[in-house]
Structure formats: structure tokens, C-alpha cells
Amino acid sequence: MMLSKFLDPKNDLAFKRIFGTERNKDILIHFLNDIFARTTNPIEEVTFLKTSQNPEIAALRNTIVDVMCRDTEGRRFIIEMQVGREPGFVKRAQNYAARAYIDQRDQGIAYKDLDEVIFLGITSFILFPEKEKYLSYHKMLDIETHEHDLKDFSYAFLELPKFKKTIKQLTTVTEKWAYFFKNAKRTSEKELEGIIGSDQIIQKAFEELNRYSWTVEELRFYDSVDMKQGADKAILEGAYEEGKAEGMVKGEREKARAIAIKLLNAGVDVNTIAASTDLSPEQIQALKNGLYKPH
């Protein structure tokens, strides 16, 4: 099997190399400006912040974000690449944003001077099944007037499976970034020009993924990270499917309970109800007496 020239930007090591290093700060700025062009003022410069948000338990992976930086206006950006399907990822995103906000108080900053926190999550799984668009923005609004009074927290999520465009269909820089994350590993040298066009920053991002510019040691580290991410993804997927199955079982129990209640109210005898549901006569009798609760 022929090796692809380009590595996978979803790999934790590659992602940090492209978006989390001083030498590639221009890529990060360009990327953030492209993603948040509709929602924030242009970013001119950023300072990288320590990604460990809780020093006491910094060794735990779930307390560390991929990239965190602050721009010249004081806004704090958190960028997180999530490969494995994690049921609690949206809550984790909010936790990271809250921690970044609270940490400012630990630095002696007054409440009135706390800076805005913006979280960007890039996922290799569908996060919001009900949403059609691959890129969504979230802010806290007054539910009646839709006024944006609470301005210090906002979120954006780039759901890669929802992005379906081919190279010929790419029309915006944001689409090129989505294509980059989803398909860079499968991109050939011949296809590259159609993706890049005149965008030198995206070209630079691809160059960082050129496996032939990585040392043997770096590639070994990349492979070890890739294997770990694959194992973590398998664990998360297993937990997700298990939780989904448990939810289905619970749903079936609730459905059986609802049917039994309706039949009891209609005067149907316990044994007939038992034959029509998965509940035992004892469970139905207890339900009749107001005692039975499904486990």
C-alpha cells in the first residue's frame, strides 16, 4: 500500500504542530479569522497560553485542551480537536470555557475586567444530528428579545462528517479548512493545487503535513499518538454504543409501562396485560398498586 504524502491533521501531534507553535502562529491567526469572520473583530496577533487549565491534575488528558491563546483584544480562544465520539463533549466544552474564564480571577483580574472566552470544537463525529450545517455558532441570548447581553461566552463547532463538498465545489476558505481536516490524509499532490488556489496559508498547513519533512523520530511519535487516539476512539465508541443500547432498553421499559397503565385504566386484567408486554404479572400488579418502577 502506497503511503500518502500528507499526514492526518486530526492527529493530536500534527494538530498541535500546525496550530499550536510559534513558527506557525500565522496559520492559527488565519484559521481563526476565517472561522470567526462573521462573529468577531479580526485577530491581528495572538499569545499562546498554557493548555493545562488545572495544575493540580494536569496529568489527566481530559483537563488539557489542544490549543489556547489570547489575542490583542484580550479574547481567549480555545481550540479542541475531538476524534472519538464523546457523549459529554458539549458539556466538556462548556467546562473548558468556564475554567478559562475563572482562571483569570486566579491571576487577580477584577470581575469587570474579565475577558471573553471563545471555544472552537472540531469533531470527527456528528455532534448535533438535528442541525444540517457543518459549522454552527452558539451564544447566550435573551429568549424573548434575542438580545446578546451576556457576551463573554461563545462556541463554534465544526462537524466534519457533515461536510460533503468535493474539491471542485470548494468556494470559501472555511470550506477549504473543513476539507483540509477531513481529507488531507487522502489528498494527492495533483489535487493540492485545486484546494489551495492562491491561499498561501493553507498551502503552508499542508506543507506541515508532508511526511517527508518529518524526522524518523517525529514520525514514530506521530504513529504512537495515532495508535493511542485509535484506542481512545474505540473505547469512547464502545461506551457510546453501550449507553445508546441502555437508553433503548430503558425506553422500551418506559413504553411497556405506559401501555400497561393505559390497559389497567381500561380495566384489562393483569395476566392479559402481561401477555401483551414484557412486564411480569408481579410487576403489573405492583404498577397497579402504584409501587412498580422500572430499573
Whether residues 114 and 172 fall in one domain: yes
* Whether residue 153 is found in the same domain as residue 277: no
Residue 246 has pLDDT above 70, yes or no: no
Q: What is the mean pLDDT of residues 158-179?
A: 96
Is the residue at 149 inside a domain?
Answer: yes
What's the per-residue H, E or C state across 65-99?
Answer: CCEEEEECCCCEEEEEEECCCCCCHHHHHHHHHHH
Q: What pLDDT does 60 receive? A: 41
Residue-level pLDDT at 290: 72
On the question of pLDDT at 247 being above 60, the answer is: no
pLDDT > 90: percent of the chain: 63
Q: What is the pLDDT of residues 276-289, one digit of tens each?
A: 677 888 888 888 78
DSSP for 101-144, written as a single string: HHHHHHTT--GGGPPPEEEEEEESS-S-TT---SEEEEE---TT
Instruction: Look at residues 214, 249, 266 and tell me which one is the last residue of a structural domain.
Output: 214
CA nearest neighbour of 180 among 209, 137, 217, 213: 209
Residue 4 falls inside a structural domain: no
Residue 176 lies in a domain: yes
Q: Which of 6, 3, 27 is nearest to 189 (CA)?
A: 6
Asked whether residue 100 is assigned to any structural domain, the reply reads: yes
Mean pLDDT of 214-228: 91
- pTM for this prediction: 0.76
When pLDDT is cut at 50, 70 and 90, the band that residue 234 belongs to is confident
What pLDDT band is residue 258 in, cutting at 50, 70 and 90? confident
- Give which of 243, 270, 209 is closest to 3, Cα–Cα: 209
Query: Tens of pLDDT along 10-51?
Result: 999 999 999 999 999 999 999 999 999 988 999 999 999 987
Contacts of 196 (CB under 8 A, 6+ apart): 176, 202, 203, 206
Q: Could you tell me if 60 and 26 lie in one domain?
A: yes
In a domain, 294, yes or no: no
Domain count, the chain: 2
276 contacts 259 by C-beta, under 8 angstroms: yes
Per-residue pLDDT tens over the stretch 205-214: 999 999 999 9
| Burial category of 139 from C-beta neighbours within 10 Å (exposed 0-12, middle 13-18, buried 19 and up) | middle
Are residues 121 and 264 located together in one domain of the fold?
no
Q: Which domain holds residue 254?
A: 240-288
Is residue 133 assigned to a domain? yes
Q: Are 75 and 118 in contact (CB under 8 A)?
A: yes
Which pLDDT value is given to residue 45?
97
Last residue of a domain, one of 198, 214, 230: 214
204 belongs to a structural domain: yes
pLDDT at site 263: 80
Quick check: 295 pLDDT over 90?
no
State how far the alpha carbon of 73 is from the alpha carbons of 39, 46, 67, 226, 229, in Å.
14, 9, 18, 36, 35
Least confident of 49-58, 90-99, 130-139: 49-58
Question: Is 58 inside a domain boundary?
Answer: yes
Q: pLDDT for 49-69, tens place per residue?
A: 987 544 443 334 444 578 999
Same domain, 147 and 275: no
For the chain, the first-to-last Cα distance in angstroms comes to 51
Q: Which of 57-71, 116-130, 237-251, 259-273 has the highest mean pLDDT?
A: 116-130
The residue ranking higher by pLDDT, 295 or 177, is: 177
